[in-house]
Each structure stands twice: as structure tokens, then as C-alpha cells.
Structure 1
Amino acid sequence: MLDIGFWLLYITTPIITIILLRAAGERITKISIVNVTVIALIMFSILGTFPLFYFLDEYRYSIGVNDQTIVLKVLFYSSINIFVFILGVIFTRKVFGIRPIEFDSSEIKMLSQIQWLALITIFFLCVIVLLLYLQQIDRVAIFITFTESISDAKAARSDMGNSFAGKYHWYKLFMHDIGKLVTFSVYAHWLITKNRLALIGFISSLIYSLFVAIMATEKGPAAWLLIGLFMVYFLVNRNGSIPFRKIVPFILFLLGGLILGYIFFMGSDNVFSAIGAIFSRAFSGSISPAYYYLEFFPAHQEFLLGRTFPNPGGILPYEPYLYTIEVMNWKFPYHLELGIVGTMPTVFWGEAYANFGVAGIPIIAFIMGCIVSIVSYVVSKLEINPLSIGFYVWLILMFKNLANTGFSGYFYNVYILFVSMLVLGVLAIRGYLRVRRKRSHRIV
């Protein structure tokens, strides 16, 4: 019976998802915040349940993912999460008529000279922040990989992020987020103008962003940077539509880069072991923490009832519960002895469950669907130019993280607030802000 239930959900979830996306007005080959977020949810919260259910991932099995009933629950909650998320999108579009304006490459405007100069100035500011950050750390993980051991590199990576002695989020804002925004924007500018100065700016920003992405020996950030550039290209040249024949070679290119990363940075012995590690980390690894959430709450920790929500400036009478760290420490207590501050994030329904139990999953999914739909509409009103294209892709990559992180961070998100204000400031620096008008009822 468990097998029947698993396969019924596993096969029908993508089919129902496509039907619901069409009802929402989405086209699966069109780049949009909703589409990419849903695709990420399918990839990182559905696909990985297959090797978990049949115990094909030996590593996950060895660390405790060994109960098919719990895996089936994970799949069921993931499916409900996706369905209700899309229903939230449909609700805002059908009931309130909040429909994004279709992206049209023919409407792309050039950046003014002062906007281009502002973009270059922001890039130099990012470089300065990176240099200041490097002064604050003793070891850079990517260099440690080549001079010492893999385990030493992992400890260095922890020091560069989770256990960084300082306000890491401000460094991350400039190094990662604003840096990627600049790279995407300058790339779009070069695709449009094809001039030498734009090419130099793009190459410089790309080298910067690639180094920032891999300096902690993380493979995902570099992959998503390249995926972002891939989306920028098709937004500029194909109205955001990606032919299927272009996707396969790009995926193979990404896979090749990840294989090299796992061999050099993670100690994989050969190509085949690297491929196994990649698929384990990308698919099983992103959803397996949800298995531990179902074990941890409420058996070892009562439901949190909102205690994971951010508390800006400490104005509320509670200290946010760092649930991803607490679950990690419960499952792998030896990390504390090694001095490694680890986290165990998963798809956003995991945080909903940790706070409110099973009932919280569809409620939060519906709310997040509404939020993503509204954001998609607001961004579609911006004038189309290289900066707004870069901002659009950056937002897509931010919201696709719902597939492997919590939801409450989106209620008060310093990165989204700051980057949005920065983009609006640069767009308005010429003295006015253009707003697009809806031409049709088609949806991006």
C-alpha cells in the first residue's frame, strides 16, 4: 500500500502542477518568478523523495532516513504545499485581477549615462566590501582546499559563514546579492549594446561574482549564478521563452562544472562518485531535512507557534528560535564538538510545520503563493532596461529559495528591501521613474 500511495503522488504531482500553472496563466517554458519557484519546488522537494523512499541513497539511509512511512508523509506534504501555493497565485489573479504585464524584449530601453556610472560605482563598492570581508577572516576555504585537507576547508567554510564573528548578512548583501545584481545587469547591458566598455564591465563583474560564489567551496551559488545569466540571455533575446533544445546542453554544461567542483573541493574519487554526490546533495539532500523535522517536532520540541519569525531590532518580546541550527544540533551533535555551526534548511513547508503543525502547511503555502504573485505583478510594472532585467532575475533566484529555505524570512527580508530600494534609486536617478502599462491579459 505504501508503494501504491507513493507512486500515485509521485507521478500525479507534476501533472497536476502543470494543469494548475496553466490555470494561473503560466507557460512552463516562460521565465517568471512563479514558474521558476514552482519548478524549484518540484525539483528539490519532490524528485528527491524517490531515492529516499527506496533507500537508494546510501548516505541518507545511514544517517537515519529509513522509514518509508515518514518519507511518504514528506512527499504528501510537499505535494499539498505546491498545489496550494499555485492556488494562492490563481486566487490573486482571478479574484483581484492582479496579473503581471507580459515581458516584451522590444520594449527594452537603454540605461542613461548616469545610470551606467551608478552601476559601475556600485560594483566598485562591492569590491571594497569583499576586500574588507577578506581582512576579517583568517582562512579562505577555497585556498585551504589546495594547501590543507578537505576537513580543514569545511571548518574554514563554517568560519566564513555560519560562525563568522561579525554581521555577516551585511557583507553577504553586497558581496553576493548586489554583486549578482550588477553582474546580471551589466550582462544584459552588453547583450543590448555589444560595446567594448560593456564587455569589460561584464567580464570584470563575472570574475568577481564567480570568486565570491566559490570562495567558501560552495558549488550551488556558482551554478545559480550561471543559471541567472542563462535567464538574462533569453529575457533579452527571446522575450523570456526558453526552447527545450537549449536547456539540455546547458544542464550538461552545469553538470560538468559541478563534477569538477565535487572532485576538487569535496574529495570525490571519480566522475561517477561525483555525479552520485551531486544528485544526492541536490535532490535528496534538499528534502531529507524535512524527514528530521517530522521526527523532531513535536516529539522532541513542541510546535513553535511563530517563534521562528524574525524580530527586527528586538522590538518583540522573544528571541527567534534558530530551528535549522537546532535540528542540526539534535541530529548531528558531534558538529558542536568539531566547532562547526551547521544548519539544516529545507522546503518552506518545513518551517510552517515546525510552527503550526500539519494545519500550517496549506495556510502558509496559500499566503506565500499570494505574496509571490503580487511581487511578480509589481516588478512587471517597472520599465524594461538592463537594470530591471537584472533585478527581475535576482528576484527569481531569491524566491526559488523557497524550495530549500523557510518562509518567514520573506516577511522581513533585508536583502529584498535594500536591493529593491537600490534599484528604484538608480532607476529614478535621472529624475523620474517610468511605469509600464498593461497591453494585454496574457501573463508572464
Structure 2
Amino acid sequence: MLALFVWIIVSILSIMLFKRVSGSLALTKPNLVSLVFYYSLFVSSYIGSLLIVLDIDHYYMINKLDHESSRYIGFAAVSFVMVFLPLTMLGVSKLANFNAKREFADYLKKPVANTFDQKNEFYLLFLGISIISMLAVAYTLLKTYQVPLFELLKGNFAELGKLRIDAARNFNGNVLIRNIFAIALTPLLSLIAYVYTVKTKQLKWFFLFLALFGSAILINIYDLAKSPIFFYIIMFIFVRIYIGKTVLTRGKIFALSAIGAVAIVFMYVFIQGVNDIEAFLSYSSGPIGRIILAQIAPTFLHFDIFGDSIPFLHGSSLPSIITGWFDVEQVRSARLVMANAFPNRIEDGTGGVLNTLFIAEAYANFGYLGVIIGTIYVGIFIQLLYIIFIRLPKNPIFLCLFIYFSINIPRTLVGGFADFLFNPIWLFITCLFVGMLLFIRFRLDLFAYFSKRKAAGNER
């Protein structure tokens, strides 16, 4: 009962802190920080942590624990994050004089600036990048030996699980082209094109949006992964909310949730061949178990394995650009945990990585000190990003970048710690679009300067 009492107190305290640093935890006004709380921490991590510490989870991964004490250590670590992550974010807000409630409300009301409406330079530049991204989608499909989506359409249901792993781990092409230009860039470009379509009402933007939208849908479902398409739809909902085209209500949230639930059932039944209804509806298996236990269970395995069965990595799972400085081979802790807990799945090719809450990878590298420093670092990172985007001009590019990070930061929180230290995809996308804005602005300023010089010369 002590664990339940701690869970309730920590949950209440966490809600109060996250409400202060986000400006709103209302489901009708979603934002980056509220998604971190609801998706990454409370639903995906803390509910399951309570079940695990009470030993009522009945989850297959937790059965792999060698030490029962890991249940309590993992629960304490997640409880620490629930409080000290938003506490760090609150400190950042105080230093930046950021009033989350007022500034987020003002941001929602602010109209979208119609950047470069009358100029073709930006459209042509955007069109060129869009063509590259769509070609990257085609390249990804061509370099995937067997595309799971196509095999599903052919009626080949037997090997779908293995094909999904093969599509991710045994890709025959350039991984950077796939990950950056196809998977990351195409959906973001479609969002920007959509905002320009709504804002300018020009056919050239509309047709470009349709092409990008189709490509984005394809790249999000080609490997039959369930989450990417849902997150892409959520990004679209965010866009419509932030440009004033959609106002969420409880009824709309309920309807969207019902549609999502039906889609999940369809995917489990027809893609994964689920036929055990009782197991499907159980809180420890099926989609419910996938949501509340699958993301957090590997965190407990990390605390159970590293420092005992596997030595601490001392930075070996950090980004390759960092490990390369010290001539250390990179290895992700999530892969080592999979190999340790489920070696048979590694051997038969159906096992990938056991991604989980970011503190797990921080612990695997640096022990409990990694948990403390990692939590503080991530809290600073998230809140600074939130404040910067809230205060940037609300033009289509900055708006869609804000939404992109609002979806991908919460996903990365339950994916690992290393990506917060150096993420080439985030860096490339940010530099690309900021560079485009600066280039076009420089062109416009240069044109205005010479126009004034010419006008002054004519007057003389």
C-alpha cells in the first residue's frame, strides 16, 4: 500500500508542476509539454510502473527479472522523473521569465504569418526539396527487399512479423536517405504545404500538398508499424488546431479515440493475426499492455541487468559522433537488453531493440548519476525548446517545426537518452528550414536594397 500512496502523491505533484510549465494540460489544447506528461510519462510509464511494483503486472518482460528489488528501484526512478523533470522545467521558465499559461494562450490566438505570399522563390525552393523527399520515399520502397505493406496486400500473412524487422534492420539502401529525407522530411513537408494551401488558397500549393500527403501516408505505413501513422494524424490535428481550423471538444476527442481504437483492433486482427479475444482485452497483453507496460517494462530490465549481468557502458551507447572521438564502438543498451532477455528472438531475426524511458539508457551508461543528470538535462532541453518556439514568429515553417518537435520529443523520451545529446535528423531538419528562411529573406532584403539604390539614382 505504501507504493500506491507514493504513486498517488507523486501523480498529484507531477500534474501540478506540468500544468505550470505547459500553460495547459487540457486535452482540448494539446502542446509539447502536455504530450510529454500524458503520453511519455503518465500513460506509457507511470501506470505500468505501479502495476510492476505491486507485482500485479503479469507481463512477460517482467518475468525476465532476476532480482525482485528491481521492481522497487525502477518504480523509484520513474517517480523521480515524474517530479524532477517538470521541476527542472519550472526552473528554466523562471530564468526565462516565461509565463506558460499566458504565452501559450496568446500563441494559439495569434494568426499565422503568410510568409512570402507573393514570391515564387520560396515555392520553387520548397518544390525542389519536396521532389527530393518524394524520390526518397520511392527509393526506400525500391531498396526494401520485401515491403511488408505490399506483402500484406498480396495476402502473405505468415512472415509479416519478421518482414517488419527486416524492413527496419536489413535495409539495402542508404539509411540516411531513408530516415531523413523519406521518413522524417516528407510528413513535415506535407504539413507545411497544407498550411500554405489553407493560407494562400493557391492551386500550386494544393496539388503539391496532395502529392506530399500521399507520399507521407505511404512512408508511414509501408513497414506496417502501428504508431507512425497515428502520430502523423495527430500532427495534422495539431496543425488544424494551431491555425484555427479545428476546435477540439470532448465529443470530438471521444470520436477520434473511438476511431483510433477501431483502427488498432483492425491492425491487431488482420496484420498480427490475433484471435484470442481474452488475451487481446487483457490489461497485460494486446493493445492495452502495449500502451501501459511495453514501453516501461524494459526500464526495469535495464535496472536489473546493467551493473550485474552486463557492465555499465560508460558512454558506449551515446551517439556515434561522440563515441568516435574516443575510438569506442557504439552499442545501444536497448539492443543489449533484448539480446540478454530474449536471445531466441535475436537468433530468429524477430527481435530488434527494447526502447524505453530515457533514464534507462542514461542508467545503463552512468548508473544512478546518469539518471539524475539525464533528467535535469532533458528537462532543460524540452523547456528551452518549448519557450523558443512559443516566442518565435508564427509562420508556416516555425509552426510546423514546433508541431514536429511536439510529437517527436515525447516519442524520443520513451526511445532513449542518446538522441537528446545529438540527433542528426533534428539538426538537419532545423538547419534546412531555418536556412531556407534566411536565404529567401536575404534575397528579399538584397532586392529591396538595390531597388532603393536604383530609385535614388533615378531621382538624381
| TM-score (normalizing by structure 1) | 0.87
Partner of 1:406: 416
The range that moved more, 176-185 or 148-157, is 148-157
Partner of 1:261: 267
Q: 1:204 to 1:165 in 2, by over 3 A?
A: closer
CA–CA separation in structure 2 for the residues paired with 1:198 and 1:76? 51
How much has 1:48 moved relative to structure 2? 2.4
The answer as to whether partners of 1:311 and 1:320 remain within 8 angstroms in 2 is: yes
Partner of 1:39: 38
Structure 1 or 2, whichever has the larger Rg, is: 2
Match of 2:25 among 11, 28, 31: 28
The alignment partner of 1:39 has SS state of helix
Does 2:80 align with 1:80?
Answer: yes
How much has 1:135 moved relative to structure 2? 2.1
Does 2:141 align with 1:141?
Answer: no
The answer as to whether partners of 1:31 and 1:241 remain within 8 angstroms in 2 is: no
Partner of 1:373: 383
Partner of 2:256: 250
How much has 1:255 moved relative to structure 2? 1.6
Q: Any residues of structure 2 matched to 1:287-326 within 5 Å, and which? A: 287-312=296-321, 314-326=324-336
Aligned length: 430
The answer as to whether partners of 2:48 and 2:57 remain within 8 angstroms in 1 is: no
CA–CA separation in structure 1 for the residues paired with 2:373 and 2:130? 40
Could you tell me which runs of 5 or more consecutive residues in structure 1 were left unpaired when the two chains were aligned: 435-444
CA–CA separation in structure 2 for the residues paired with 1:269 and 1:51? 26
How much has 1:286 moved relative to structure 2? 0.6
Partner of 1:437: none
The range that moved more, 28-37 or 65-74, is 65-74
The answer as to whether partners of 2:45 and 2:292 remain within 8 angstroms in 1 is: yes
Match of 2:16 among 10, 14, 19: 19
CA–CA separation in structure 2 for the residues paired with 1:283 and 1:129? 34
CA–CA separation in structure 1 for the residues paired with 2:442 and 2:38? 36
Partner of 1:230: 237
- Structure number with greater CO (CA < 8 Å, separation at least 6) is 1
The answer as to whether partners of 2:44 and 2:296 remain within 8 angstroms in 1 is: yes
Q: 1:27 to 1:159 in 2, by over 3 A?
A: same
Does 2:111 align with 1:107?
Answer: yes
Partner of 2:451: none
How much has 1:25 moved relative to structure 2? 5.7
How much has 1:343 moved relative to structure 2? 0.4
Q: 1:62 to 1:371 in 2, by over 3 A?
A: closer
How much has 1:194 moved relative to structure 2? 4.8
Partner of 1:8: 5
How much has 1:20 moved relative to structure 2? 0.9
The answer as to whether partners of 1:329 and 1:336 remain within 8 angstroms in 2 is: yes
CA–CA separation in structure 1 for the residues paired with 2:144 and 2:426? 26
Give the CA RMSD over aligned residues: 2.8
CA–CA separation in structure 1 for the residues paired with 2:141 and 2:357? 31
Does 2:281 align with 1:281?
Answer: no
Does 2:334 align with 1:327?
Answer: no
Partner of 2:353: 343
1:88-135 residue CA offsets vs partner (Å, 9 max, x unmatched): 111112134366754144331114243233333322211111222222
CA–CA separation in structure 1 for the residues paired with 2:359 and 2:436? 36
Aligned residues with identical type, % of pairs: 18
| TM-score (normalizing by structure 2) | 0.85
